[in-house]
Amino acid sequence: MKPAIPQKLPLEGLEWELLIPACARANRALARFDGILTHLRNPDLLKTPLTTREAVLSSKIEGTVVTVGEVFRFEAGDTPAQESKRLDIEEIFNYRAALRAAEKELERRPFSLNLILRLHRVLLTSVRGYNKAPGSFRRLQNHIGRPGSTIEDAEFVPPSPDRLMASLSEWEKYYHSDEKDELVQLALVHAQFEFLHPFLDGNGRIGRILIPLFLYNKEILSSPTFYLSEYLEEHREEYISRLRALGTAREAWTEWCLFFLEALAVQADRNAGRVKAILELYDRLKLHILQKSNSKYAIPVLDAMFVQPVFQTGSLLAREGMPQRLVLMRLLSRMVNAGMLRVVVPASGSRGAVYSLHELVTLCDNQPGKKSRGPKDGITVTPLARRGLPNERKK
């Protein structure tokens, strides 16, 4: 199979009359979501729950098999027995670090290809793919296919390295340009990045990090707190197949935009529901903890738990504004007795207990108002790599 030839941006031939209704729906949904974000009293309450969930789901598309709860427990010092779990969680830590680094960078300077390189370096530091030129665009031909496939039987061969830099420069220029609708522009920015596949590893995750950055850059959202991986993971096969089709027919780009706009609309409503659920939980727990304790430290301790929902006592004590150990232990004991906290790992010897703000962890792992997702229609859904679908790790 020969390397694909990228379409020029801006793209000609989009069927805008088909896209306009989908654009309107997606823009309305994002406006509703941003209305919630702009009225938050304490946006920091959402950062850890939402960024960790996004990191888990985006990495899951690439084949990791870890829950949000397992990530929080590992962060609290409860290391999983399986080496594969530990490696998966370390990748998720890097993804979350890249999200946070991107937000800080955009506060200081405009979006650029150099920012993409810095995020890629963060993403691949000390994890699988560390030897795949982190922080550098590829100089080799890559390909995508089933595990063990060669370039001859690959399912997709990205553009050749000698075309790559010119295409990336054109892509960056398009990112900063004006389009008829900015959400269609985002659909094309994401798809073209995945089509170019400019890294030897990490392309899918970097491509999904671009989504909230673009929405924030274009002032569609007041904060880069919008994550699409939940929808894309649920529709993983369609997501991948629509991206792959972009190299076969020009009309596939319109179909891709329709899929992406639907994803934005659905996920904006879901994200709004999740934010409301987290804030409602916070308000309920705040009222409960104040009823159980008259301590002036009750609210600062609760805020710290939303930043780190699974923790040991020492990690809370290290935070600014926390009480002395004895006062904190009494407060935690009351919360455990009231059912607000759970002890997930009992104290043993010199090691302290591991506590979990279990309702918040459950909210992060599941969709509000829904039970945990099991197999759909009696079909067991296995990770991407096990099904032999293309993914960026398996070359």
CATH code assigned at 235: 1.10.3290.10
Q: Are 364 and 281 in contact (CB under 8 A)?
A: no
pLDDT of residue 387: 30
The rounded percent of the chain whose pLDDT value lies above 90 is 74
Amino acid symbol at 26: A
State the sign of the Cα–Cα–Cα–Cα dihedral 184, 186, 189, 191. negative
Q: Model's pTM, two decimal places?
A: 0.87
Look up the domain containing 313 and give its range: 275-365
Number of domains, the chain: 2
* Same domain for 98 and 51: yes
- Is residue 392 pLDDT above 60, yes or no? no
* Same domain for 117 and 254: yes
Task: Return d(Cα 24, Cα 33) in angstroms, integer.
Answer: 14
* Same domain for 260 and 355: no
pLDDT of residue 38: 87
Asked if residue 197 is part of any domain, the answer here is: yes
* Same domain for 83 and 228: yes
Residue with the larger pLDDT of the pair 127 and 349: 127
* Same domain for 280 and 269: no
pLDDT of residue 262: 98
Q: In whole angstroms, how far apart are CA 257 and each of 231, 254, 334? A: 15, 5, 52
* Same domain for 169 and 72: yes
Phi/psi at 310 (nearest 5 deg)? -120, 130
Arithmetic mean of pLDDT, 87-93: 94
Task: Return d(Cα 122, Cα 288) in angstroms, integer.
Answer: 40
Minimal CA–CA distance to 275: which of 54, 37, 29? 37
Asked if residue 370 is part of any domain, the answer here is: no
Asked if residue 379 is part of any domain, the answer here is: no
* Same domain for 257 and 113: yes
* Same domain for 67 and 191: yes
pLDDT of residue 209: 94
Task: Return d(Cα 302, Cα 162) in angstroms, integer.
Answer: 54
- Which pair of tokens denotes residue 290? 């104040």
The rounded percent of the chain whose pLDDT value lies above 70 is 93
- Is residue 382 pLDDT above 50, yes or no? no
Asked if residue 146 is part of any domain, the answer here is: yes
Element (H, E) at 342: strand 342-345
Q: In whole angstroms, how far apart are CA 21 and each of 34, 36, 97, 226, 277? A: 20, 24, 36, 22, 29
pLDDT of residue 64: 86
- Is residue 374 pLDDT above 70, yes or no? no
Q: In whole angstroms, how far apart are CA 147 and each of 98, 141, 233, 380? A: 27, 17, 20, 21
Domain end call among 273, 308, 332: 273
Asked if residue 251 is part of any domain, the answer here is: yes
pLDDT of residue 367: 55
* Same domain for 214 and 192: yes
* Same domain for 68 and 111: yes
Summary mean pLDDT of the chain: 89
Minimal CA–CA distance to 355: which of 343, 340, 364, 363? 343
* Same domain for 151 and 39: yes
- Domain of 345, CATH number, reads 1.10.10
**Residue 366's pLDDT band (boundaries 50, 70, 90)?**
confident
Arithmetic mean of pLDDT, 71-78: 93
The pLDDT tens digits of the residues spanning 31-51 come to: 999 999 888 888 888 889 999
Residue with the larger pLDDT of the pair 161 and 128: 161
**Residue 354's pLDDT band (boundaries 50, 70, 90)?**
very high
The pLDDT tens digits of the residues spanning 177-230 come to: 999 999 999 999 999 999 999 999 999 999 999 999 999 999 999 888 899 999
Asked if residue 204 is part of any domain, the answer here is: yes
* Same domain for 159 and 25: yes
- Helix extents (H) in the chain: 16-38, 44-61, 68-75, 83-108, 113-124, 161-175, 182-196, 203-217, 229-234, 236-245, 251-292, 298-307, 313-317, 325-337, 358-365, 384-387
Asked if residue 212 is part of any domain, the answer here is: yes
